[in-house]
Structure 1
Amino acid sequence: MIQLYSRIKHHWLRLSRKRKILVLACIALFVWFWFSLPGKLFVTPTSYVLTDKNGVLLNAAIAADGQWRFPYDADVPDKFKQCILAFEDKRFNYHFGVDFLAMGRALWQDVRYHRVVSGGSTITMQVVRLSRGMGSRNIWNKLKEALLAVRLECSYKKKSILALYASNAPFGSNVVGLDAAAWRYYGNSPKSLSWGQMAALAVLPNAPSFVHPGKNRESLLAKRNLLLQKLLHNHTIDSTTCALAKLEPLPGDPRALPQMTPHLLDRFKKEYPQLLQQQAAAGTSIQTTIDAGLQQQLNDIIAIHHGQLKGNQVNNAAAMVVDVVTGNILAYTGNVYQPQDASLESHVDVLASPRSPGSTLKPLLYAAMLTEGTLLPRQLVPDIPTQINGYAPQNFDLGYDGAVPANRALARSLNIPAVKLLQQFKYQRFYDVLTWCGLTTLKQPADFYGMSLILGGCEVTPYELAGVYSSVARMYLHEKQNHGKWNSADWFMPGYVAGADNRKLHPVAGNNEFAPFDYPALWHTFNAMNEVMRPGEEGLWGLFGSAQRIAWKTGTSFGFRDGWAVGFTPRYCVVVWTGNTTGEGRPDLTGINTAAPILFDIFRQLPSSPWFQPPLSGFGYLPVCHQSGYKAGPDCPDADTLLVSASALQHAAVCPYHRPVNLDASGHYRVTASCVSPNNMQHKAWFILPPSIEYYYRQTHTDYQPLPPVLPGCEAGEGRAIDIVYPEENARIYVPLELSGEKGNTIFTATTRNHDGKLFWHLDEQYIGTTVRFHQVAVNPAPGKHVLTVVDENGETVTRAFEVQSK
């Protein structure tokens, strides 16, 4: 290297001054020539464009400068290549940016006819002129274009130059580029155009004003037919094709572009900088994972149901379909799309909007408790009037079952059992589970939501809810490949960019150290969600072997503002929302009435798949009391063997409702050793519920056998004989006003094992009444703290302290 430098220096010093100046001038000219082109030729804004997984146009938005200009497309259809080369630059593949024969011919024609007859510009020169702006066509500009065209040929391949031309040539009106022209004039992609259509587009950049209807139509027709004749002469097409192509109509008024996924297009615009940074999008055009056929079906279903919902002034609906295994979004309808009606606010993408989820989070609590082993699938959960620190949940039907199996409580979406379970699990822990699952809309601390967290007291987007349940299904499907372990890499939000790795593009901040669910728990959760009665089918769907099994859940927010339905199979996850974007509630706006019918109409369009297989790991078998669903104890006469999470083998509670009872010889009375000899007793295991639960349980379970009465004169010692159902200990009560404006009453309820006995009621040691058989009293206590006392005929007493709030 040093020797080479010395030799160059030696020769340089020997040069004369004039030659040094000449050499420097040549170097300067070369540097100017090499850097005469910008790093990026075209910096004009482009349209945002979405295509489906097969390249079908879904949506496009006009560019910022008001032009329909699709992003650069490197793939130029062969028909356009043949047409444009025959019409504009037949020696394109052989020259170096300048066609001297064409320029000489053009110069001779201009001199002969004293006007510009032909330009002589090559496609390469036209690319240069398009990139520099449409300047005046004089000799000086021609020379600059020619020089820059040569420079362009030094860095770009012929294919790329042709693609630059096709993407940036003017096609009349505000249409720029072949892709935009094909869709605006023919409503189809360039690859699908016929020879006649492509020939008409190929001549437009030469005279873009010809495209206007009624203006120079004869000239456009003549140019197109002349081009077709050239294609015939150079044997690109045959005579039959040429004749048929000449019969095709010319393009007319520009057509409206497809608007199949307007809300997904808006989402892409917002997420474009992030996607570009993560190299998931190379420009303002992306190929999505959407299936155009399914998308159209989804749009049609939403439109049909919206026509019915509007009768109840329910103006908005949204739905999304996700491929479970890949996490790809297959269809995305963010709202009904009727932009002409501003009152509908159809521009709002509800799939990305936080809304109250109603009961749609209940399966996650059920699965979490099954996982830790503190709950068994059929374990009885109390369903009685409940107050927790002033919070009094109600079931949707305002009734009570006394106690209900946990899986049935989930299938029926009962609120009180869900609150009871959350009270046991702790809402702070459930809050952590939800944030782990990827719900980013829980902006407040856990204490802000409290117990209402399980009934829709927070906000969730339909997009993230679909992400959670599709991840639940995906995680379960991958049990075998994950070797029975929890793999947080399988937990991610859905994506819509074709070819992108959703695990990296939409990860959830989880970790393998904290696994909120295990495989047996998910198995039981799926089956419980599958048992929900489908709308309009009255549970008869299960009688048909061809009926598709779907795990699904509905939700209704407070005030009937949101109707939800989410469901999944091993292949697909679907989420549906109905309501008003304004937040206005409407009667009968419930998940089961408005969202569920849409959900099942969507699933009818999807291929069915076999149901989930039983878990392969992490489980054990446990004897479970048939009546209570708890772990069977020594006094449970009838036990079932149930597959449960391994943790339940250690943490499941033994049945508290079965205990031995001593009966007399007839079996009709309870007795003790103080009045009957043990030799004359019968010893039986009896299913005994607490009085507060038994009171409601008996009303819905006619087969329930209450304890026999105590033998007169015999002390049974069977525990408390009476109980107060409402109010609970230390409850805070608010007594609302009646419609008349007068202060209303609150109803106190008690129960006793002596069903024909009397109860005597006292409020703050003041007698207020006696009840027989039906033990309820209506009272109007003053604001402040009170003590309720109930006494039975045997003198047994039970008390409750409570407080009446003024507001």
Structure 2
Amino acid sequence: MNRLVILALALWLAAAGRDQFDSWIDNTVPPPLEIAQSVEVRDMHGDLLRAYTVADGRWRMQTALDEVDPAYIAMLLRYEDKRFYDHAGVDPVALMRGVGQALWHGRIVSGGSTLTMQVARLLEDGSTGTWGGKLRQIRLALALERQLDKSDILTLYLNRAPFGGNIEGVRAASLAWFGKPPIRLTPAQSALLVAIPQSPERRRPDRDAQAATAARDRVLARMLGAGLVDAETYAGATIRAVPDTRYAVPALAPHLADRVIAQNPDTVQHALTLDRTVQRALENLASDAVAGRSDRVQVAILALDHTSGEIVASVGSAAYRADGRAGFIDLTQAMRSPGSTLKPLVYGIGFDQGLIHPETLIADRPTDFGGYAPQNFDGLYRGELRVRTALQHSLNIPVVSVLEAMGPQHLIAGLRRAGAAPEVPGGRAGLAVALGGVGVTLEDLARSYAAIANGGLAVDVRWQSEPSGAFTPHRVLGDVAAWQIADILLEVPRPVGVQGTGIAYKTGTSYGHRDAWAIGFDGRHVVAVWMGRADGTPVPGAFGGDLAAPVMFAAFDRIKPQIDPIAAPPAATLLLPTAQLPQALQRFRPRGVSAEQGPRIAFPPDGAALEVDRLTAKVRDGQAPFTWLANGTPVLTSHAREVDLGVLGAGYSALTVIDAAGDTARVQVLLE
């Protein structure tokens, strides 16, 4: 009977002790598991573009378990804690061994720490050299095992382990010591990263390569004995030299990275549309473009995929530093005068409105536009020539004539439909906007040319990896007009020594040689280049064609090996020589014809919004027959004054009627 009482009492004490022990563990208050991580900016493939240290100057980059080479994980567990998945935070076998060694040596030698105990020490930044410190780690390790699963604990180690200096976590270590992410580690590299955290300062390969090598080789030897590496791998890994210097953390696209972080300050990892390979190539190109110049000339380059809207490279300056070129300024966002780069959009809108055709004859002669008398750059005049030629040679008088006929507000509206945000001096656009009398950014111009390259439809130009969903693809130009502009720009004369076949492009030089521009596109990409001084002062002798255009063509060469062809003309394109065009399109005639002389569109009225399937139009005055055009495309010719123009499609349409005398009338309507 006494034996039963004693047994019962012993069991009760054991149960009470167990409950007390469980309560002791469950009442453990762990330190915060979250810790500041380095902000990272990554490209479309997940590769690092730029990273920032945390507040205390450490590199601590967030790492997920699936972002690390499984072979490294296997080595780590085998070397540090081979029963990791079997214990509850403390390995009794290893702990007893550690206690025995401590009693024998009179001090803690190995400690028998599990990975969970190491995580506990890292979380509390505690000591491993005292019994109190060890007990605290044991308690916290047991608590962590009850609160987290094994993968969470392992992830904590991957993010907290010290690797020497200001490097914490395996991702930062892999980038610092090998210049690559940890998913691509070799056996030799994995072994070194397993070894360093045991004594991070003494085993830093840049401080003591011999100690680092010896520690790495001990890890490899144990892996050989455990069968995790074979003899051949072991032999090859042990002859590899450890790195003797740290790799610089990538600092690509610094201007855009700063902008992204300013807009999203609470995000740790930013996924961008940039391509790291292209970004690096264009940053090197920008540096080469200003090398050897002592005139403080700066450069900015923007490249985007107009089929998706993704910006693939954004170079804000030749170098991100406080130098005489003001390299910290993001010049893709600087408001500048675009010079002649808006001329294609003026002509494109003129095509849409039925004012002109690429083969229309237009006058290039001295003209006074109500007190505004522009001149061509070279001071010469060519007389009468085709619109195509006027644009290819960037003549000023013809484009101002077209802008006067259609109204400057249509150009500004076109820019805004493309997603640009032009700044108009005084708030009211005048004829000078055709020649650069408006403020735009390099990104604005890239958006505008992306719309032309995209068949006239605005593009959701973005750096975010995912579309916002809020973009409305406004039509900037009709598809015919957009193709006509591209076709003309394909034949713009190239700089000396440049082929550039298949690239449609335009250059521009602002007043006083302050800004030199070149913007081009093929069937997939748009590249925009600005060159000038960051402070906006003149650069004598700087021209878009000489300064910026060669850089733009070189950018295409660095983006891809072959040019993507521009699409074929739409079916409705009027491919005729001048003599075979409708009479009103054979020669440009400015607006201003009186009602007694020319036709008037009686219906629909200008600016009307109509809910109709088929559009009926009426014309008064003028001489039959009447030719009707919708968005610059001939629809029909008839003697009737009331006609059915058919289905034109939803959206804005510019209707033009041309009578037998060549006089015209135009309205713009919204079909819903």
Q: TM-score, normalised by structure 2?
A: 0.79
Q: 1:616 to 1:236 in 2, by over 3 A?
A: same
Aligned mate of 1:184, from 176, 197, 210? 176
1:293-692 correspondence to structure 2 within 5 Å: 293-307=277-291, 310=293, 313-337=295-319, 339=321, 342-388=323-369, 390-442=371-423, 446-447=427-428, 449-475=429-455, 491-495=459-463, 497=465, 500-501=466-467, 504=469, 508=471, 511=474, 515-536=475-496, 548-605=501-558, 606=560, 607-616=562-571, 625=579, 630-631=584-585, 645-646=632-633, 651=656
Distance of 1:28 and 1:463 partners within structure 2: 65
Distance of 1:582 and 1:647 partners within structure 2: 49
- The equivalent of 1:262 in structure 2 is 254
Contact 1:49 1:286 in 2 (8 A): yes
Q: Deviations over 1:522-573 (max 9, x none)?
A: 11111122121111169xx6xxxxx732221111111111111111111111
- The equivalent of 1:792 in structure 2 is none
Q: 1:32 to 1:94 in 2, by over 3 A?
A: closer
Query: What is the Cα deviation at residue 216 of structure 1?
Result: 5.8
AA aligned to 1:494 is R
Query: What is the Cα deviation at residue 602 of structure 1?
Result: 2.1
Contact 2:213 2:241 in 1 (8 A): no
Instruction: Identify unmatched segments of 5+ residues in structure 2.
Output: 1-14, 588-628, 637-654, 664-672
SS of 2:527's partner is strand
Aligned mate of 2:233, from 235, 241, 262? 241
Q: 1:420 to 1:462 in 2, by over 3 A?
A: same
Distance of 1:118 and 1:376 partners within structure 2: 86
1:218-237 correspondence to structure 2 within 5 Å: 218-237=210-229
Q: Deviations over 1:257-302 (max 9, x none)?
A: 33443333323322334xx7xxxxxx53345433333333323333
SS of 2:281's partner is helix
Query: What is the Cα deviation at residue 590 of structure 1?
Result: 1.2
Query: What is the Cα deviation at residue 172 of structure 1?
Result: 0.6
Query: What is the Cα deviation at residue 66 of structure 1?
Result: 0.6
Contact 1:376 1:644 in 2 (8 A): no
Distance of 1:629 and 1:89 partners within structure 2: 88
Aligned mate of 2:264, from 254, 272, 285? 272
- The equivalent of 1:252 in structure 2 is 244
SS of 1:150's partner is helix
1:86-125 correspondence to structure 2 within 5 Å: 86-125=78-117
Contact 1:211 1:220 in 2 (8 A): yes
Query: What is the Cα deviation at residue 133 of structure 1?
Result: 3.4
- The equivalent of 2:593 in structure 1 is none
Distance of 1:214 and 1:421 partners within structure 2: 67
Query: What is the Cα deviation at residue 86 of structure 1?
Result: 2.3
Q: 1:155 to 1:528 in 2, by over 3 A?
A: farther
Query: What is the Cα deviation at residue 175 of structure 1?
Result: 0.8
Distance of 1:316 and 1:257 partners within structure 2: 25
Does the alignment pair 1:171 with 2:154? no
AA aligned to 1:391 is Y
Distance of 2:450 and 2:351 partners within structure 1: 20
Q: 1:508 to 1:450 in 2, by over 3 A?
A: farther
Q: CA RMSD in A?
A: 3.7
Does the alignment pair 1:73 with 2:36? no
Distance of 2:448 and 2:129 partners within structure 1: 61
AA aligned to 2:325 is L
Contact 1:327 1:494 in 2 (8 A): yes
Q: 1:112 to 1:28 in 2, by over 3 A?
A: closer
Query: What is the Cα deviation at residue 116 of structure 1?
Result: 2.0
Q: 1:241 to 1:435 in 2, by over 3 A?
A: same
Does the alignment pair 1:49 with 2:40? yes
Q: 1:32 to 1:162 in 2, by over 3 A?
A: closer
AA aligned to 1:337 is A
Distance of 1:165 and 1:47 partners within structure 2: 16
AA aligned to 2:310 is N
Query: What is the Cα deviation at residue 108 of structure 1?
Result: 2.3
Determine which structure has more spread, i.e. the larger CA radius of gyration.
Answer: 1
AA aligned to 2:144 is L
Q: 1:525 to 1:621 in 2, by over 3 A?
A: closer
Distance of 1:219 and 1:537 partners within structure 2: 56
Q: 1:627 to 1:473 in 2, by over 3 A?
A: closer
Contact 2:279 2:312 in 1 (8 A): yes
Distance of 1:467 and 1:28 partners within structure 2: 67
Query: What is the Cα deviation at residue 346 of structure 1?
Result: 1.9
Distance of 2:98 and 2:361 partners within structure 1: 94
- The equivalent of 1:202 in structure 2 is 194
Q: 1:155 to 1:374 in 2, by over 3 A?
A: farther
Contact 2:489 2:506 in 1 (8 A): yes
Q: 1:147 to 1:397 in 2, by over 3 A?
A: same
Instruction: Identify unmatched segments of 5+ residues in structure 1.
Output: 1-21, 277-282, 477-487, 542-546, 634-641, 659-807
- The equivalent of 2:26 in structure 1 is 33
Query: What is the Cα deviation at residue 377 of structure 1?
Result: 2.5
Distance of 1:217 and 1:526 partners within structure 2: 59
Identity %: 32
Contact 1:50 1:57 in 2 (8 A): yes
Aligned residues: 590
Distance of 1:356 and 1:300 partners within structure 2: 26
Query: What is the Cα deviation at residue 349 of structure 1?
Result: 1.8
Query: What is the Cα deviation at residue 234 of structure 1?
Result: 0.6
Contact 1:564 1:591 in 2 (8 A): yes
Distance of 2:38 and 2:233 partners within structure 1: 34
Q: 1:355 to 1:154 in 2, by over 3 A?
A: farther
